[in-house]
Amino acid sequence: MQAARCPTDELSLTNCAVVSEKDLQSGQHVTVKTTPNHKFVFTVKTHHTVAPGSIAFNDLPLSVSSVSNYNFDKSKQCIGAMTIEIDFLQKKSTDSSPYDSDKMAAEFIQQFNNQAFSVTQQLVFSFCDKLFGLMVKDIEAMDASILKGEPASGKKQQKIDIGLMVGNSQVIFEKAENSSLTLVGKAKTKEARQTIINPDWNFEKMGIGGLDKEFSDIFRRAFASRVFPPDIVEQMGCKHVKGILLFGPPGCGKTLMARQIGKMLNAREPKVVNGPEILNKYVGESEANIRKLFAEAEEEQKRLGANSGLHIIIFDELDAICKQRGTGASSTGVHDTVVNQLLSKIDGVEQLNNILVIGMTNRPDLIDDALMRPGRFEVKMEIGLPDEKGRVQILTIHTNKMRSFNLLALDVNIKELAAETKNYSGAELEGLVRAAQSTAMNRHIKATSTVEVDMERAEKLQVTRADFLGSLNNDIKPAFGTNQEDYSSYIMNGIIKWGDPVTHVLDDGELLVQQTKNSDRTPLVAVLLEGPPHSGKTALAAKIAEDSQFPFIKICSPDKMIGHSEISKCQAIKKVFDDAYKSQLSCVVVDDIERLLDYVPIGPRFSNLVLQALLVLLKKAPPKGRKLLIIGTTSRKDVLQEMEMLDAFSTTIHIPNISTGEQLVDALELLGSFTDKERASIAQQLKGKRVWIGIKKLLVLIEMSLQMDPDYRVSKFLSLLRDEGA
């Protein structure tokens, strides 16, 4: 038969072979062999204008060599699923409207029901008054059990080259490469998208300790929508989360978390960018660097649409490039334009749905507000200091290898170490393990004229409990922990319980510590210790703080702020409180408040900036789940009353001076400074008399008297007491 032109436009859209009534009948199927050696099966339609001996096709050219009858085996050759590549027939008639592939598939089955199709066959399809060029990519046979009216067998169906379209066939459209066509609907892709979670991933081996809750929260917010089938996500009108911001103290696992997210996901290797690397001295280069990061994701989204894989971009030290706009002092405003470029790329006019940007910073307060809104870095997760359970996990992770090779001594108790390492960050715990390892190794090194390893003993190398405890006490100290040197200098002489007033103060302090620990209604407890100068207020405050055993204790003292300007003093005080908020339980001692305020009675003059900062910080509740005890000390309660500062404290405890001769003798006895005979003489002199002296001043007078000849010590002491007006 000779190839001829299709008689009408309508017939050219039917995908049928058109012949004369004298040659074949409508509905028959024929095999058409073409040159070069290809074979297609067509369904026949007849038309009176076609000459006998001719066969007409649609406008797509075919060179016919022979035509023969074809009979379908309906048990094996019905189409179960057919994948079709689609594009606009004419490039000039392209448009950007989205086409629903579900409706398209229904229309296709209606138009071409009971017709034959062959793999690589090309045809024209009319939908919504637009012409599309189609090419059959793949045909799967229908499950034979469905044809018999039984439930599907679940077996994988075999691929066939020629099939017959039936009413319950499935048609899947795929966009042709480099096509500008936009498809929506669940039938747009044949393959279920690659599962986003790496199949070899094991959550238990991820090596992140103490961050289980944070990781599950990130997973819920950022990945749940990506794990679900795309059609359900589309029906919900759900957009994927594009940005995660991890913030918190240094060394708590932000970078580790980002690294593990990259490994966990079945995505390309994450692009890791250190903030400062983006900046360039040439104008426009910094912005170009941002564009390069997103170029690959943009290109893939244009090419593959919804099938595009996930691109992960990790920004370390995000605050280096995303500072608040308008705060930079430079004339070029590079920081501002870099922020603008990043804003437009993550969630601008042309949206990318195949990116996940993970930012990390210790200073979320520096980052531009526009980056923090939903649609950009909308999942904000604080990676804080690990709790005791988390510390057990972290120490277990870092000692696993040693344990497996029998290098960890049996006396090492991980739970004991976790209890001892309050407020240690993950990095500090890793440092502790390293320090213990180096201590153990050091035992097996011969330090002679040359340094060499004692190989005989090295084979018995084991890291012991003593190595860990030695490193804990000497080598590694937590950045957000208690520095014993901070408060030990204030109580170097111990607490002298010269009478009931001192015992009452310590008992009240213990009550406030218990309230801070146990009460959920009062996460912030502030107490003011007030009393005359030298009455031992600071020592009592330091003692209450020490006895609390809180993991974070800090003394905010004027002696560390000598010569500071008002602004730098405010910043130093604020830093103490900010550090305290990072710990589960904290105690801040604000010592000698009138000195912090620069108060002098002449004038009078004081620093209003520091006063306002203290008023705010004393009333500011710590973040949820954190507890804070503030202990203030002052010798000028009347001044704080005038400044309306007393209201900022929950309660006030009065610290009195020693007021009777009996109390003074009790103090001398506790100090053990004079002999029994000398103390009896002093008691005789002071019997029934009122005295008024602070314990701190008393210590100075005693030490001064003790430098005298033993015969004159008592008289000198009494003389000094009189001189002091006590």
Domain boundary residue, one of 46, 71, 96: 71
The model's pTM: 0.65
Q: pLDDT at residue 668 above 70? A: yes
- Residue 178: per-residue pLDDT: 77
In terms of domains, do 451 and 401 share one?
Answer: yes
Residue 725 buriedness (CB in 10 A; 0-12 / 13-18 / 19+): exposed
Angle between helices 676-686 and 713-723 (to 10 degrees): 40
Q: How far apart are CA 630 and CA 652, in angstroms?
A: 12
Q: What is the DSSP string of 143-209?
A: PHHHHTTSPP--PPPPB-SEEE--TT-EEEEEEPTT---EEESGGG-SSPPPPSB-TT--GGGS---
At residue 511 the predicted structure's pLDDT band, cuts being 50, 70 and 90, is: very high
In terms of domains, do 621 and 685 share one?
Answer: no
Q: What is the DSSP string of 609-655?
A: HHHHHHHHHHHPPPPTT-EEEEEEEES-HHHHHHTT-GGGSSEEEE-
Q: DSSP code of 463?
A: B
Least confident window among 174-188, 326-340, 606-620:
326-340
- Interval 250-255 mean pLDDT: 85
- Give the DSSP H/E element, type plus range, for residue 65: strand 64-70
At residue 191 the predicted structure's pLDDT band, cuts being 50, 70 and 90, is: very low
- Which residues face 313 on adjacent strands? 271, 357
At residue 637 the predicted structure's pLDDT band, cuts being 50, 70 and 90, is: very high
In terms of domains, do 326 and 235 share one?
Answer: yes
Q: Report in angstroms the alpha-carbon separations of 631 from 363, 527, 545, 613.
A: 28, 5, 8, 16
In terms of domains, do 507 and 470 share one?
Answer: no
Residue 111 domain flag: yes
Contact between 172 and 105 (Cβ < 8 Å): yes
For 653-663, how does the pLDDT look when each residue is reduced to its tens digit (9 = 90+)? 999 999 888 88
Print the domain residue range for 700: 659-724
In terms of domains, do 250 and 326 share one?
Answer: yes
Contact between 626 and 583 (Cβ < 8 Å): yes
In terms of domains, do 235 and 309 share one?
Answer: yes
- Give the DSSP H/E element, type plus range, for residue 85: strand 79-88
677 labelled catalytic: no
Contacts of 267 (CB under 8 A, 6+ apart): 196, 309, 310, 311, 312, 356
| CATH code for the domain of 53 | 2.40.40.20
Average pLDDT, the chain: 83
- Residue 331: per-residue pLDDT: 45
Residue 473: CB atoms within 10 A of its CB come to 10
- Residue 193: per-residue pLDDT: 44
User: Which entry of 87, 143, 592, 666 is annotated as an active-site residue?
Assistant: 592
User: Which entry of 186, 591, 633, 697 is annotated as an active-site residue?
Assistant: 591
- Residue 153: per-residue pLDDT: 58
- Residue 263: per-residue pLDDT: 74
Domain boundary residue, one of 71, 100, 123: 71
In terms of domains, do 527 and 586 share one?
Answer: yes
**644: left (phi > 0), else alpha (psi -120 to 50), else beta?**
left
User: Which entry of 389, 446, 619, 689 is annotated as an active-site residue?
Assistant: 619
Q: pLDDT at residue 520 above 50? A: yes
- Interval 426-449 mean pLDDT: 86
591 labelled catalytic: yes
Dig out the tokens for 57 from the structure: 């096709």
Residue 198 domain flag: no
In terms of domains, do 366 and 223 share one?
Answer: yes
161 labelled catalytic: no
Higher confidence at residue 261 or residue 121? Answer: 121
In terms of domains, do 117 and 237 share one?
Answer: no
Identify the CA nearest to 702 among candidates 687, 721, 688.
721
Q: pLDDT at residue 144 above 80? A: no
Q: Report in angstroms the alpha-carbon separations of 652 from 52, 531, 537, 633.
A: 113, 10, 12, 10
User: Which entry of 255, 538, 633, 634 is annotated as an active-site residue?
Assistant: 538
Helices (H), 426-582: 426-442, 455-458, 465-474, 484-488, 500-518, 537-548, 566-581
231 labelled catalytic: no
User: Which entry of 175, 537, 543, 627 is annotated as an active-site residue?
Assistant: 537
- Residue 631: per-residue pLDDT: 96
Dig out the tokens for 374 from the structure: 């939903």
- Residue 61: per-residue pLDDT: 56
| CATH code for the domain of 533 | 3.40.50.300
- Residue 415: per-residue pLDDT: 92
Residue 702 domain flag: yes
537 labelled catalytic: yes
Higher confidence at residue 601 or residue 37? Answer: 601
Domain boundary residue, one of 602, 632, 654: 654
Q: pLDDT at residue 188 above 80? A: no
Q: pLDDT at residue 329 above 80? A: no
- Residue 271: per-residue pLDDT: 85
Residue 197 domain flag: no
Q: How far apart are CA 398 and CA 222, in angstroms?
A: 28
For 19-31, how does the pLDDT look when each residue is reduced to its tens digit (9 = 90+)? 888 888 887 888 8
Dig out the tokens for 162 from the structure: 């020629």
Where does 349-426 show beta strands of DSSP type E?
A: 355-361, 379-382
Q: pLDDT at residue 147 above 60? A: no
Q: Count CA atoms within 13 Å of residue 124 on its CB side.
A: 19
Q: pLDDT at residue 190 above 50? A: no
The alpha carbon of 694 is separated from its chain's Cα centroid by a whole number of angstroms, namely 52
For 279-293, how does the pLDDT look when each residue is reduced to its tens digit (9 = 90+)? 777 778 888 888 888
Q: pLDDT at residue 533 above 80? A: yes
- Residue 220: per-residue pLDDT: 81
State the virtual CA torsion across 601, 605, 606, 609 in degrees, nearest 10: 170
Higher confidence at residue 203 or residue 164? Answer: 164
- Residue 230: per-residue pLDDT: 67
For 41-90, how does the pLDDT look when each residue is reduced to its tens digit (9 = 90+)? 888 888 888 888 888 876 555 667 678 888 888 778 888 888 888 888 88
At residue 518 the predicted structure's pLDDT band, cuts being 50, 70 and 90, is: very high
Query: Which phi and psi (to 5°) does residue 108 adopt?
Result: -65, -45
Q: pLDDT at residue 212 above 90? A: no
- Residue 3: per-residue pLDDT: 79
Residue 3 buriedness (CB in 10 A; 0-12 / 13-18 / 19+): middle
Number of domains in the chain: 6
389 labelled catalytic: no
